[in-house]
Structures are given as structure tokens and as C-alpha cells.
Structure 1
């Protein structure tokens, strides 16, 4: 395998499937050198067991944003804050404050509003189609649903939600070829969220930010609150949007999966299997070794960067048999689509509920829904951390 391929293999796919080179690398060398031009010594981890060992060991591997700055990445003043790239004890303190906002009781209370959002987007699909024969499911359904749910969660005022959706969409136009624009989008998002935090500080609302201000306001700075909000945006918008779009592709191409999505008893396991199989978040935030260590028998030096391939780990036969197929009835080891360890996605259950509500609602509203172009002609994002399609033309 060439150095160029090794640098990019964790981002390459054929349709929804990681390229075969990733599986070959996992089988032959699950911890392998990762070539980053002008970057630090780095390792790509592709095996399920090895990925969990890295993500589950916060004492050996640091997640702090400052490591990226020290490795020649974005400067520390571009740190968006939040949970995603922080270490204990800061991470422990912030997560302890945030977790009560994601209890089963809180999420159940949000479900009627999620249903309203989904139904509103289905109405928008009808309006967008008009007299034409197709509509873009990404722009009318997949992207607005998580954006509006996050608005509801955070307490974004109604008159700011259109602008919030625009900022949310821009926030994730990040690929290996557009990092500069990505940083600008991050800064715009953080600036907006900072203003939202200031308004919530002055007059706390009923959303998550208002709850945090009332319960922990004296122990949270505005920067920390904005960072938590940005983390929810990072983890909950584009990832869920990509799953809604790519999952729909699979439901429309496979009658058995289509039927499972319409079955209340099967849709939950189906969602979890689609999460494993598609693995829209292709790699976890990079870790940095705090000291010399070993991963899967490979020596890793202090300061080395470690990149975990979630898409590679989730197809590992270590989980069970026939991981290259989708089987919503299977029983396997827990997947790592939401990460693992202390950085396991705090909004994982919210994302699952959004999909379990949205998929069947879409198929019931449009029983004859189908792709408007062959699936082989869909345009996927190249080299993207969060995998997805740029557009998804559908008709009914």
C-alpha cells in the first residue's frame, strides 16, 4: 500500500462501504503507520479490540485540543471548547453537568416535538416538489430535522432558527481540501452560540442552556457554555443528517429493511445496525499518547498521534459474523459508531430516537418513495470526516 493511500484510506469508500484496503489493513496490521505530511508520528488503528483499548484509556491517551495546536494544527485560540476535545478533570466536570439533560425522562418529553419537526419536514418535501418530479431529501428532510431538534434542545428562539440552520449547515462543509473554510465556519458557529449564551444568561429559557444557567450558572463560564452547545451541534447535526440520508438509501434499496423500519418492534434494532454498518463518523477525534505505550503489540511513543477508524472497527469480524452485511436481527458486541469510553457521544440516545421516529414517518407518508437516480450515481462527500451524500434526489 502506498504512503498516499495509507494517508487517506480511512476516508475512502465505494458507495457506503469502506474500501477493501481498510479491511486488508485491519487483518494484516490493525495498528499501522499513518503518514501525515509535515505532521507528527501517527498511527491508524483499525481493529475493533484495539480501537476500544485506545478510546477507553483516557489515562494513556489525551484528547485535549492543545495537542493539535502543538502538532501544527489549529491554534489554541480556535479551540471550540466543550467535551469533545478535553481531558479530565475539565471533561469530567462538564459532562457531569450535561448528562442530566439527556436522561430518558428528558428525552421522552422531547419526543412529541421531534415528531412535529419530522412531520413539518415531510410537509416541506411536498411543497418543495411542486410540479417537478423529484425533491432533494438532504435539503428538505435530513438536514433540517437535526438542526431543528437541536434548536428545540438548546432553546434557540423561533425567529433565529433559520439563521441557526444556515450556520449549522456551513459548520460541516469540512473536508481535507477545505480546512480553511471549515475553521471560518467553526468560528461563525462559536460566535453565534456565544451570543445565544449571553441572552440565556440574562434571561434563562426552558431549553438546555437555560437549565444549565439556572442550575450551574456560577460554575460555568460563557465560553464553556458556548463550547457545550457547539459540541452538541458538532455531534448531533451533520452526523444525524448523514444517517437520515444514507439510511434512507438503504431502506429504499432493500425491501426487508424497508419492512423493518415500519415495524415498531424492529425499528430500534434496525437503527442500531444501520449506525454500525454505515458509521458516518469515519474516525474519532485524534488521541495523543501521554507516554510510551503499546497498542495491539505495536510500540507507540510519547506524543505520537493515534487515529481510530470507527468505520474499520465496526466491520471487524471480532464483533460477529458477516459484518459486511446488514442484519437488524443480529446480536453482536456493542459497536463504536458513537465512540467509546468517557467520550462516548452524550447525545447517542437522542440521535437514535430521531432516526426511529423519522424513518417510519417518511416511509408511511410516501409509500411509493424511491430514488430518482440510480444509487450508483449518487455523489458522496470525498475525504470527509463525516461521510454523507451531497444531495439525495427522490420521487414518489
Structure 2
């Protein structure tokens, strides 16, 4: 890193800003959008350069961006050639400098940034808790949660006579309360869950925010695990403790809980809000999922593909010299897979993939990743969406957007894309 860049980095960090805020737009391009669509320059790479280098202005850091669907599957599926392990970040001084200095020293645990055999062992412990048989027990409670938030929206509209924020009263509380229910965490802790999750993904919230929030999150969840260890409840943490005892440590349990928080809260909240925006602009689709139960599943799958709110997958690091789509990748290089780009690649399916079609035959999209690191909570997320959307449009059939779409504020340069607020009139 040059002397000027070092001085600028130090200055920005003293002001509480992330080093990532110094990166040029060409580097942060995969984390930005044009409304609901990937930027044109990202979309162009899908066909012209499905694997390309990001022009990172920090010496010693090489990052390859994967945008093509087949190339993305190749990288995501190959846990032998590519490593997810967190130490790839924490042990690399150049990479630490690029993302904010000393913020990468605490391993977040969980599944997303772990390799076999740890990943294999922990996923084997967690997977049974996410089978449809076990998740089905949550359906009545999820329906109650959604209905309660619809009641809250109606009460707020009557109280104020003004538009209500679909994000604040609907999309945020639903996954927060669902995760509290799943883990066995008290309802009163929902605000802590929300603040922890949002901080993990807002890259410009402060110096090293995306990694710096890990310590706060894990410290909080260690307390939750300690309480569950003393008196195991009926939630996921309590069940794992009863079934596996001391064979899983408190640190590992907190890491798994953190992974569920990170993977299940902000992503689902963003999906509910942005999916709501799609519905607000498409009366035919509102009518479709209001009147036809069989249309709800395909609608959700298409929405997951079209929105791809998790814009990039967890970073991979090459264990050896290799190549992807004919592009050489050196040992130690970082590989970032753009899920939002790959899910618009015509190589995946027929038809115009830049358009939203609720009647499209479900595609093999990458919204939840692919391979051994595919999101273990995918079915829970889809269950929440299948419950939330039909109930929303059936309760408020005349729901309308209180602002023009171009007046909305979207999250900027964030791993998980979303809208800051979504004011609606209930009709």
C-alpha cells in the first residue's frame, strides 16, 4: 500500500469510517445496484468476462470476481480447491489492511467461514434441526407472528392516519421473531438481534463494521448459550445441547447461533421488503398469489432468483494454482462469487432472466448458494416467505406504495441488498 493510501486509511479510520469506503466504485460495483437490478457493468461481465479481476488499490491483494452461472457453480461446489476458512483473512496483513486493519482477529465461527472437518461436523449437528419435519412445528407460530404484524400495521395506520413502514412493522419483525422462536431466545431480545445483524452487513457503518460487529454479536450470543447450557429449552440451542452435550463447545454453539442470525434475519427481512415492493408494482401478481395457493411456491422461487438479496457469497481462497472458465487463479487469491449476477445469466434458464415472471418454471438459482456451503436454513426462509406474502395481500388487497419507486432509499454497498423503508397505504 502506498504512503498516500496509508495516510488516507488512517485518517478515515480515526473518523470512524471503514477502509472499504476508500475503494473506488469499480471495486464496490458488485455490492451496488440500479433499483432492483445489478448495475449494467456487472450485467455486462456475465457474458463478456464471467471471471475477471477486481482492480483493488491495495498491494498484495488479488480478488477475482465470478459472474457467470456455470463458473459460479464450479467455485461454490469445489471445497477441495477453494477454502472458506476465516484464517485466510485473519492471517493476511494485506487483506486486513484492505478491510480495516485489526478487525479480523476474532473468528466468527459457524458454517460460512469454516472448512472440513469442522464444517462437516458442525453441519451434521445443525442439519437435522432444519428438516421439514422439525420446521413444520413452527408453522402455526409463524402464522401467528405474521398475523400479529398485520394487526400492528392496521393499528398504526388508524392511530396516525399516515402511511406505515412495511420494513419496520412487517419485514423486520417477522424473521427476528422467527429466529427467536427457532433458537429459543426471548422475544424481548429482538432489538439486539436486529442491531447485531444489520451491523454485520453494513460495510460503511464504521471502521471495519462488517467484521468488527462479530465480537459484539458473539459476546451477546455466548450469554444466550450459557443460559441454555444451564437450563436447555425447547428451541434449537436447547435441543442441540440435550442431544450433543459437551461434544459441542459454547464457542461453537454461539458461532452456529450467530450464523443463523446473520443468515436468517437480514436476508429474509430484505427479501420480504423487496418482494413487497415487487408486489406493490404488479397487481396481476398480487391477484395471483392471493387467489391461487398453488402459485405461491413458484412465485417465491422466482422472487429469490430475481432479487438475489445476498449479492456475493462468502469469499473463497484458492488452496492451489487453478483456473475457472479458462482464467488462471493463483494459490492464495480471493474469489468472490456474484450471486446477483449469476442468477441473471441466460445460461441458467430460458426466457428473459432480467424480468420477473411469477409463472416461470422454478430455476436452479443460487440465491442460497450451492454445494456444501448452501444455506442450511433455506427451507425456513422460504417457509416465512410463503406465509408472509399471501397473508399480506389477502389482508390488504388495496395496498399501495406511498412514494414513487425512484424516491425510495436503498442500502448502499452492502453484502445483503435492501430498502431502508417502504411506506405503504393500506387502502
* TM-score bin, normalised by smaller chain: over 0.9
Distance apart, 1:168 and its partner CA: 4.0
Do structure 1's residue 242 and structure 2's residue 270 form an aligned pair? Answer: yes
Greater Cα offset, 243-252 or 36-45:
36-45
Do structure 1's residue 252 and structure 2's residue 273 form an aligned pair? Answer: no
Do structure 1's residue 22 and structure 2's residue 42 form an aligned pair? Answer: yes
Greater Cα offset, 385-394 or 116-125:
116-125
Distance apart, 1:332 and its partner CA: 5.5
Which residue is 1:285 aligned to?
314
TM-score (norm. length: structure 1) = 0.95
Do structure 1's residue 305 and structure 2's residue 334 form an aligned pair? Answer: yes
Judging changes above 3 Å, is the alpha-carbon distance between structure 1 residues 43 and 184 closer, same or farther for their aligned structure 2 residues? closer
Rounded Cα–Cα distance in structure 2 between residues aligned with 1:363 and 1:220: 43
Note the 1:1-396 alignment, pairs <5 A: 4-38=24-58, 40-71=61-92, 72-73=95-96, 77-129=105-157, 130-158=159-187, 160-168=188-196, 170-172=198-200, 174-176=202-204, 178-262=206-290, 263-320=292-349, 321-331=351-361, 333-396=363-426
Q: Give the superposed CA RMSD.
A: 1.6
Judging changes above 3 Å, is the alpha-carbon distance between structure 1 residues 96 and 246 closer, same or farther for their aligned structure 2 residues? same
Q: Is the 8 A contact 2:104 2:212 kept in 1?
A: no
Rounded Cα–Cα distance in structure 2 between residues aligned with 1:91 and 1:109: 27
Q: Is the 8 A contact 2:302 2:363 kept in 1?
A: no
Corresponding residue SS for 1:112: helix
Q: Is the 8 A contact 1:281 1:386 kept in 2?
A: yes
Runs of 4+ displaced beyond 4 Å: none
Rounded Cα–Cα distance in structure 2 between residues aligned with 1:271 and 1:115: 17
Q: Is the 8 A contact 2:84 2:314 kept in 1?
A: yes
Judging changes above 3 Å, is the alpha-carbon distance between structure 1 residues 169 and 224 closer, same or farther for their aligned structure 2 residues? closer
Distance apart, 1:125 and its partner CA: 1.2
Rounded Cα–Cα distance in structure 1 between residues aligned with 2:198 and 2:305: 26
Distance apart, 1:326 and its partner CA: 1.1
Distance apart, 1:381 and its partner CA: 0.7
Distance apart, 1:93 and its partner CA: 0.1
Rounded Cα–Cα distance in structure 2 between residues aligned with 1:176 and 1:66: 23
Q: Which runs of 5 or more residues in structure 1 are unaligned?
A: none
Distance apart, 1:186 and its partner CA: 2.8
Q: Is the 8 A contact 1:168 1:237 kept in 2?
A: no
Distance apart, 1:178 and its partner CA: 3.3
Distance apart, 1:173 and its partner CA: 5.5
Which residue is 2:9 aligned to?
none
Distance apart, 1:42 and its partner CA: 1.1
Corresponding residue SS for 1:6: helix
Q: Which runs of 5 or more residues in structure 2 are unaligned?
A: 1-22, 97-101
Distance apart, 1:222 and its partner CA: 0.2
Distance apart, 1:107 and its partner CA: 1.1
- What are the Cα deviations for residues 163-207 of structure 1, in whole angstroms up to 9, with x where unaligned? 434444543451246353444433222111100000100110000
Distance apart, 1:77 and its partner CA: 3.7
The alignment of Structure 1 onto Structure 2 pairs a total of residues equal to 393
Q: Is the 8 A contact 2:46 2:68 kept in 1?
A: yes
Corresponding residue SS for 1:238: helix
Corresponding residue SS for 1:78: coil
Corresponding residue SS for 1:231: helix
